[in-house]
Structure 1
């Protein structure tokens, strides 16, 4: 549920729950009071307030009427206390009593401890009119006072007051206003607790958990499970998911940094090892010349040539390291140009063939591309790709009759180059990793097969920067074939 919808639901609950509960409590009070009335006065009710009012109007009118009619028959008997007490006894059954006032003097009170009622009646001026439904509130007591006016034969005005105690007449368990107030207060408190709990569970708790996630990420605890709300789909859950993605990326970056440092240490170790071998050779041959071991012109020439070759190996290694540094920072300088596939590969293979011939290796070259096939490439970097692959084949050649096949093919929108050798091959377990930086299938290092382990990763980077792709197939003991494709240049036809 979205946060906006949750807020809407919260607002509706704040308004609706108290209204519903107040309505139910009111209905319950009405039901209880009505049942008490039914049991006390033995009448049937449909639980409507109007029906109850009608009933009490009739009930109280009956008490008033019966008292009036009886006194009218014997008005002169109002002088007799026995007669008045007899009427008062009948009224006591109806939760009422009599107060008799002659002229302005109260001469009879039918109940004790009703001073407020008597005082109210004393202050009431003598009137020849009947007063009905006069209400007196005395503290917590409720009284209904009805005045009956009679004139005796002596022309004396007597006022008979029928006083009904409403608290006794209507069975109430507590003061209705106070009970209602307490009930509403209780309902509001319960509603506030429920709504507060709802808000806490749906807003405060998720925000607090999200803050906890952010604190752990800030403190570098990237292994902390930040995916707290796995089944929710609201704004807070999406924020939590974003934080979890940040955590994963930071963790991946940290791991990459660790791996990079590890690889850099491996590179330094490899470079140190690979430089040490030719340097040792250079020093040895130079000392041989200085010490006179090379005691003939031919031997001196051979020593100098060896020194030169080792120096070239060191130069190649340093160039490779420099290029690797540029690759790592995406700063390889490219100078793209249109290259004729036939002409470019012919020149490139001519250079390679001389080197392979000097090493005693055979070469077969086939170019199946059309004479006008053009590619867009950096000639220097593409030459580096071909030479690195060929150099790798030569480095791992384990046969006396070593041989390379180089084929160039037209494959639709691409030109495909295949460089095949009959060397030692690559095992299937190593095949997926040959283009990874610092990966060397041959774990044992020696001067013949040693290397930095970055040559093929450089090749892959250059080919991909040309918009191409490179892959390899190999069979251990039989040889390896490297494939890479470069997109052909095509003229855009004007419409």
Structure 2
């Protein structure tokens, strides 16, 4: 679920929850109020004909007292006069109090003297009286006795149930509503914090680790939302940075190896050249034959250095993708035959047997850059020639069809490659057998150059070797009729 949907749901809950709680609060308030009404109905002995009784009995008390005030107010000084009102007053939980010059002369119910001081009288005055004994709603009326003494009567209604409802029940319900609202909002806030804030803190900690260079710890945050997408993006960035750092460390190691190897490979011929030049200068080469021999050796060493530097420059350009390829339609059989003829000139003085086995038609063509592809094949052939160690040295080049590609196999019966070195022979600057490489020369980038050139032609190169028996290189090139396919199956030898 996305964060956007979660936020919408949380906002809806924040709106619906208070409304629901308010409805619940009103529902509870209604039922409590109804229950309180029943309690008050029982307390005040209210029957179904309450309205009629209210208009007759309660109004009767009030109108009767008002009438007596006008006709004979001195009756209020006679307690026996109120005997007829006692039953109605008791039925309504009401109390009648009469005063004479602020002195109590009659009370239908016992009332504390200190409560009387809180009663104020005026014509049709109303008010509340709250004491330790209870709470009353009262109505007062003042008048004059026949001797012009101030008099007053008070009708007090006991409102204890109503006061209890207002003072206890309502605050309790309001407090319960607020508490439930706060708890609900706290739960929602906690849930949102757990699902959004805490994961963001984890991602921030992971980003800080990446910033500090700590790339080994994976970002383990699996979610199906925007934070999950951000986590996946950070994890991919971490993996790419880690890969980049590892490659950089590997490149740095390779660079150091290259410097070390090149220094060694350059130092050896330079030392040799210096020695022969010193021999010439010192007059050791005192005849023409020796002089020619010394000069030939110097030339050979200088040529080796030139080839080594040329190889390094080519690899550097290939590595930076700054080499331009000029592809043209090429008859692969003719191309390979011309390369073998060049090789024959180098090996005809030796006992090396070079064979070509052609299983192609005479019209097998590829798109190739003659110079670059020739360089790749020369590196392979030269590499094979270096390590031919058998008495009967043999090299076989086979051309055959492989699906819609052309397969070129270069096989020899040389010393082979150790199994531990085999997976890495195409790596840049890799020199597996140090002793062997030192004896035969080479910078360790010849086969790396081959791999880059072959792949630039849309082909593949693989190798199979048995140490002590020989090595076979397998090269596939796209036939000129074949369109390049990204999902072309790998070659298995």
TM-score, normalized by length of structure 1? 0.78
SS in 1 for 2:165: coil
Query: Are residues 71 and 358 of structure 1, via their aligned partners in 2, closer, same or farther at CA, if it must alter by over 3 Å?
Result: closer
Contact map agreement 1:423 1:477 (CA 8 A) in 2: yes
Structure 1 residues 74-89: aligned runs within 5 Å? 80-84=78-82, 87-88=85-86
Shift of 1:28: 4.5
1:9 aligns with 2:3: no
Provide, for residues 193-216 of structure 1, a one-character-per-residue CA deviation record: whole Å limited to 9, x for no partner: 333323322333333333333333
SS in 2 for 1:444: helix
Shift of 1:58: 4.8
Shift of 1:42: 6.5
C-alpha separation in 2, matches of 1:168 and 1:469? 98
1:434 to 425, 428, 449: 425
Query: Are residues 269 and 55 of structure 1, via their aligned partners in 2, closer, same or farther at CA, if it must alter by over 3 Å?
Result: farther
C-alpha separation in 2, matches of 1:427 and 1:212? 46
1:143 to 108, 122, 137: 137
Contact map agreement 2:410 2:474 (CA 8 A) in 1: yes
Shift of 1:386: 0.8
Tell me what 2:124 maps to: 123
Shift of 1:405: 0.8
C-alpha separation in 1, matches of 2:83 and 2:162? 21
SS in 2 for 1:240: helix
Structure 1 residues 287-366: aligned runs within 5 Å? 287-366=278-357
Q: For structure 1, which segment, 161-170 or 428-437, has the greater mean C-alpha deviation from structure 2 after superposition?
A: 161-170
C-alpha separation in 1, matches of 2:418 and 2:244? 31
Tell me what 2:191 maps to: 198
Query: Are residues 222 and 70 of structure 1, via their aligned partners in 2, closer, same or farther at CA, if it must alter by over 3 Å?
Result: closer
Contact map agreement 2:405 2:479 (CA 8 A) in 1: yes
SS in 2 for 1:477: coil
1:284 aligns with 2:286: no
TM-score, normalized by length of structure 2? 0.79
1:391 aligns with 2:382: yes
Shift of 1:189: 3.2
Provide, for residues 80-128 of structure 1, a one-character-per-residue CA deviation record: whole Å limited to 9, x for no partner: 41341574476346431125799xxx986645636777636x337xxxx
Provide, for residues 445-470 of structure 1, a one-character-per-residue CA deviation record: whole Å limited to 9, x for no partner: 56423322111111011000000111
Shift of 1:333: 2.7
Q: Which residues of structure 1 form unaligned runs of 5+?
A: 44-52, 125-134, 148-158
C-alpha separation in 2, matches of 1:332 and 1:344? 21
C-alpha separation in 2, matches of 1:30 and 1:72? 35
Structure 1 residues 2-401: aligned runs within 5 Å? 2-28=2-28, 58=49, 80-84=78-82, 87-88=85-86, 91-92=89-90, 94-98=92-96, 110=108, 111=111, 113=115, 119=121, 122-123=123-124, 141=135, 143=137, 163-168=156-161, 171-172=164-165, 174-227=167-220, 229-230=221-222, 232-401=223-392
Query: Are residues 475 and 250 of structure 1, via their aligned partners in 2, closer, same or farther at CA, if it must alter by over 3 Å?
Result: same
C-alpha separation in 1, matches of 2:160 and 2:27? 21
Contact map agreement 2:57 2:88 (CA 8 A) in 1: no
SS in 2 for 1:397: coil
Contact map agreement 2:413 2:469 (CA 8 A) in 1: yes
Shift of 1:143: 2.6
SS in 2 for 1:408: strand
Provide, for residues 297-353 of structure 1, a one-character-per-residue CA deviation record: whole Å limited to 9, x for no partner: 444433333332222221111111111111221112322222222332222211011
Provide, for residues 201-239 of structure 1, a one-character-per-residue CA deviation record: whole Å limited to 9, x for no partner: 233333333333333333333334433x22x21112211
Query: Are residues 319 and 391 of structure 1, via their aligned partners in 2, closer, same or farther at CA, if it must alter by over 3 Å?
Result: same
Shift of 1:431: 2.0
Query: Are residues 225 and 93 of structure 1, via their aligned partners in 2, closer, same or farther at CA, if it must alter by over 3 Å?
Result: farther
C-alpha RMSD of matched pairs (Å): 4.0
C-alpha separation in 2, matches of 1:472 and 1:432? 9
C-alpha separation in 2, matches of 1:365 and 1:270? 35
C-alpha separation in 2, matches of 1:54 and 1:245? 81
C-alpha separation in 2, matches of 1:466 and 1:203? 51
Structure 1 residues 425-464: aligned runs within 5 Å? 425-444=416-435, 447-464=438-455
Q: Which residues of structure 2 form unaligned runs of 5+?
A: 142-151, 484-493
C-alpha separation in 2, matches of 1:322 and 1:54? 115
Contact map agreement 1:36 1:171 (CA 8 A) in 2: no
C-alpha separation in 2, matches of 1:451 and 1:237? 51
C-alpha separation in 1, matches of 2:452 and 2:90? 112
Contact map agreement 2:460 2:475 (CA 8 A) in 1: yes
Tell me what 1:489 maps to: 480
C-alpha separation in 2, matches of 1:68 and 1:160? 15
